A and B are shown apart, each in its own frame.
Chain A
Amino acid sequence: MKVEIAPTNQALPPKAAAARPSRWRTFYRKLRKNKLAMVGGCIVIFYIAIALLAPFIAPYDPYEIDLVNKLKPPSAEHWMGTDDKGRDVMSRLLYGTQLSMSVGFVAVFIGAFFGIILGLLSGYYGGWVDTVISRIIDVLLAFPGILLSLAIVSALGPSLFNVMIAVGIFSIPVFARIVRGSTLTVKKLEYIDAIRSLGANDFTIIFRHIFPNILSPIIVQATMRLATAILSAAGLSFLGLGAQPPLPEWGAMLSNGRDFLFTAPHLAMFPGFAIATLVLGFNIFGDGLRDALDPRMKQ
């Protein structure tokens, strides 16, 4: 006979359920104390705001060509100068925030989605399922750096969408390994045995009882991975394999700026600075999240 299992917090006695928010309050207090993490968080929020507000705050159309004013250095009219086609660099940079952020988020979502499923199945079922999935993870991790993404983009063809897929696949083994480890720990806890003895099926146990309890390392990893994904995607666009002209993606803008390094260094300077600060923001915010959410992960 099957017994309907209530969600975790409802299954807890009222006292324990009431005590649950305090865990998040403790986390928030810890995070707020970490000044560096707050700086990182502010940088990330700043860029998210720019991405959302780009159409309202960009002074010019990012695609508008003005050959008369090409390669102009920063001035009162064009705060970050103009590029080789006379387009306003600042407007392109502001719109580019949307592209670079989207690539990062979509790639991490792809990596996390498949990585979490593989990790949960591998950790929960063990046996041959674990062996097969673990070997797949080992093989995917055997590709150095962005070479796996590079190979995928070479097969699918250069485009920003394909870069998202390629960087996403590159992130799958990282998530799978972390989730597998956490699942192995959680599935041995007594409450999982209790839920199983009540007749809960594997799907309910995995997704309603194990998954919510391994969210901390996943959130930390996702934040850190956003930095890597944005860097990797910008790198692929820099090589001409990602965003194609005239898209104002930061890596592609930097690549274009390289051709004018001697005459108009501002073209390479501003997009590079934007990538570096956004990645720095995610890195230090991720560090802070890790310390607050999952101190055991601290090296």
Chain B
Amino acid sequence: MFVYIIRRLLQMIPVLLGVILVVFLIMQMVPGDPAVLLAGEGASAETIAKMRTQLGLDQPIMVQYAQYVFNVFQGDLGTSLRSNLPVWDEIMARLPATIELALASIFVTVVLGMIAGIVSATKQYSAADITIMVIALLGVSLPSFWLGLSLIYTFSVKLQLFPVAGWGTWKHMILPAITLGTAGAAIVARMTRSSMLDVVRQDYIRTAKAKGLRETVIIYKHALKNALIPIITVVGLQFGFLLGGTVLVESVFAINGLGRLIVDAIRMRDLPVVQGGVLIASIIFVFVNLLVDVLYRYFNKRIDLN
């Protein structure tokens, strides 16, 4: 397992370099001269030229990219145009809220999705099964920002059970986590159902039934363990959507997280923050994918991932 993790870490290097390259190239697409942008509209030609040298913009593009990669690996993502603070510090100040939101949403995705999927599979074609699958179809199609606003209107404005916006207490977490986790829960529910249905048709489950084992033991001890493998993959994939989705949900619930930082930075044309924010979120996603692969291997030792 150790060798496998090392190998996967090494394989990640070209992907990370590629991600940095894409972010770097996207920022090259920005119309206008970044030196003018940074120096301000009214800056003199001398100041702009100085800024160009300072930023390395007078260097060939490959040198600029190499310098950018070098800086990124040192944690230097540049300086925010708005606050003049290092981008790294700005991101680190906002990241905890986003990670908390993503973890709370993953909890909703996994728990709600798996319970719904198991109930659906064990009671195939019943009213409960059909209801769950219809809700799952709706769940995949709901725009998270609309669901968020509907939840705010119902539970915060009308019933006054939860705060309208903000972050800090467990009460702040519930509505955003449901908003962000619903689509994932719907996908996990569908996946759990089909995976469980595949497993319960296997011979060893029939044997377990013939032995007279209780249904709960068969489901949770024997069937679920093997049904988990495809579910883990789906949950891992969902994490990417969750990270991307935080942008919208943080905006709806006014949460000061990484997603909102990126959106605010786009509005203010604070490009170093956009660049750094997208990069950090993608690096986190690449590492989560590695974690998913390791878990996949752990739960399914028969697969030779080498």
Which A residues are closer than 8 A to B by beta carbons? 135-136, 138-140, 142-148, 150-158, 227, 231, 234-235, 238-241, 251, 254, 257-258, 261-262, 265, 268-269, 271-272, 275-277, 279-280, 283-284, 299
11 interchain pairs, CB-CB under 8 A = A139-B21, A143-B19, A147-B244, A148-B22, A150-B247, A150-B266, A153-B266, A239-B247, A239-B266, A257-B149, A261-B153
One of B137, B244, B278 near A280 (C-beta < 8 A): B137
**Are the CB atoms of B26 and A283 closer together than 8 Å?**
no
- Tell me whether A147 and B243 are in contact in the complex, defined as CB-CB below 8 angstroms, given that A142-B286, A156-B29 are known contacts: yes
A150 to B265, CA, bound (A): 11
- Chain B nearest CB, measured from A157 CB (Å): 7
Q: In the assembled complex, which residues on chain B have CB atoms less than 8 Å from the CB atom of A142? A: 15, 18-19, 282, 285-286, 289
**Are the CB atoms of B149 and A145 closer together than 8 Å?**
no
Check: B221 CB closer than 8 A to any chain A CB.
no
- Chain A nearest CB, measured from B268 CB (Å): 10
Q: In the assembled complex, which residues on chain B have CB atoms less than 8 Å from the CB atom of A153? A: 266
Check: B122 CB closer than 8 A to any chain A CB.
no
Q: In the assembled complex, which residues on chain A have CB atoms less than 8 Å from the CB atom of B263? A: 150, 239, 241
Known A152-B26, A283-B141; further 9 A-B contacts with Cβ < 8 A: A138-B18, A142-B18, A146-B244, A147-B262, A147-B278, A239-B251, A239-B266, A261-B152, A299-B194
**Are the CB atoms of B143 and A276 closer together than 8 Å?**
yes
Q: In the assembled complex, which residues on chain B have CB atoms less than 8 Å from the CB atom of A143? A: 19, 22, 244, 278, 282, 285
Check: B128 CB closer than 8 A to any chain A CB.
no
One of B27, B140, B251, B262 near A155 (C-beta < 8 A): B27
Per-residue contact bits, chain B 145-158, to A (CB 8 Å; 1 contact, 0 not): 11001101100010
Check: B37 CB closer than 8 A to any chain A CB.
no
One of B153, B157, B245, B284 near A145 (C-beta < 8 A): B245
Q: In the assembled complex, which residues on chain B have CB atoms less than 8 Å from the CB atom of A235? A: 143-145, 247-248
Q: In the assembled complex, which residues on chain B have CB atoms less than 8 Å from the CB atom of A284? A: 137
* Chain B contacts with A in 266-294, Cβ cutoff 8 A: 266-267, 271, 274-275, 278, 281-282, 284-286, 289
- Tell me whether A154 and B241 are in contact in the complex, defined as CB-CB below 8 angstroms, given that A144-B281, A144-B282, A254-B145 are known contacts: no
- Chain A nearest CB, measured from B98 CB (Å): 11
**Are the CB atoms of B18 and A150 closer together than 8 Å?**
no
**Are the CB atoms of A272 and B146 closer together than 8 Å?**
yes
**Are the CB atoms of A280 and B146 closer together than 8 Å?**
no
Q: In the assembled complex, which residues on chain B have CB atoms less than 8 Å from the CB atom of A258? A: 149, 252
A66 to B146, CA, bound (A): 26
A144 to B246, CA, bound (A): 10
One of A254, A257, A261 near B157 (C-beta < 8 A): A261
Decide if the interface of chain B is mainly helix, strand, loop or mixed. helix
- Tell me whether A254 and B285 are in contact in the complex, defined as CB-CB below 8 angstroms, given that A138-B15, A151-B26, A280-B137 are known contacts: no
- Tell me whether A145 and B141 are in contact in the complex, defined as CB-CB below 8 angstroms, given that A135-B18, A154-B271, A156-B29 are known contacts: no
- Chain A nearest CB, measured from B138 CB (Å): 7
- Tell me whether A254 and B26 are in contact in the complex, defined as CB-CB below 8 angstroms, given that A142-B286, A147-B247 are known contacts: no
Check: B14 CB closer than 8 A to any chain A CB.
yes
**Are the CB atoms of B26 and A144 closer together than 8 Å?**
no
Q: In the assembled complex, which residues on chain A have CB atoms less than 8 Å from the CB atom of B274? A: 150-151, 154
Per-residue contact bits, chain B 180-201, to A (CB 8 Å; 1 contact, 0 not): 0000000000110010000000
What residue of chain A has the Cβ atom nearest to residue B25's Cβ? Answer: A155
Q: In the assembled complex, which residues on chain B have CB atoms less than 8 Å from the CB atom of A268? A: 146, 149-150, 153
Per-residue contact bits, chain B 126-141, to A (CB 8 Å; 1 contact, 0 not): 0000000000011011
* Chain B contacts with A in 79-123, Cβ cutoff 8 A: none
What residue of chain A has the Cβ atom nearest to residue B271's Cβ? Answer: A154
- Chain A nearest CB, measured from B123 CB (Å): 19
A18 to B291, CA, bound (A): 52
**Are the CB atoms of A157 and B31 closer together than 8 Å?**
yes
Check: B159 CB closer than 8 A to any chain A CB.
no
What residue of chain A has the Cβ atom nearest to residue B146's Cβ? Answer: A272
- Tell me whether A234 and B285 are in contact in the complex, defined as CB-CB below 8 angstroms, given that A258-B149, A261-B157, A268-B149 are known contacts: no
What residue of chain B has the Cβ atom nearest to residue A138's Cβ? Answer: B15
A1 to B242, CA, bound (A): 57
Q: In the assembled complex, which residues on chain B have CB atoms less than 8 Å from the CB atom of A138? A: 15, 18
Check: B56 CB closer than 8 A to any chain A CB.
no
- Chain B nearest CB, measured from A262 CB (Å): 6
- Tell me whether A276 and B142 are in contact in the complex, defined as CB-CB below 8 angstroms, given that A147-B278, A261-B157, A299-B230 are known contacts: yes
- Tell me whether A150 and B262 are in contact in the complex, defined as CB-CB below 8 angstroms, given that A145-B245, A276-B141 are known contacts: yes
* Chain B contacts with A in 23-57, Cβ cutoff 8 A: 23, 26-27, 29-31
- Tell me whether A136 and B18 are in contact in the complex, defined as CB-CB below 8 angstroms, given that A150-B247, A279-B141, A280-B137 are known contacts: yes
Q: In the assembled complex, which residues on chain A have CB atoms less than 8 Å from the CB atom of B163? A: none
Check: B240 CB closer than 8 A to any chain A CB.
yes
